[in-house]
């Protein structure tokens, strides 16, 4: 399953992305709402 992680804190996003990846998720990361909107539409 693929998830979109939207988090502006770099340390927290790295930890969450690693944990989700270890749990078997494919993770796309966006640091802000604008990029998340773009990634969510593509």
Question: Is residue 42 over pLDDT 90?
Answer: no
| C-beta neighbour count of 25 within 10 angstroms | 14
Question: Is residue 33 over pLDDT 90?
Answer: yes
Cβ(36)–Cβ(30) under 8 Å?
yes
Chain-centroid distance of CA 38 in Å reads: 13
List alpha helices for the chain, DSSP H.
10-22, 33-41
pTM of the model: 0.85
The confidence score (pLDDT) of residue 24 equals 98
Torsion sign, CA atoms 31, 34, 37, 41: negative
Tell me the percentage of the chain whose pLDDT exceeds 70: 100
Question: Is residue 11 over pLDDT 90?
Answer: yes
């Amino acid at each position: 399953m693929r998830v979109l992680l939207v988090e502006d804190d770099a340390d927290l996003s790295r930890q969450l992305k690693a944990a989700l990846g270890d749990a078997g998720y494919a993770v796309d990361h966006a640091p802000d709402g604008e990029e998340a909107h773009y990634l969510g539409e593509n």
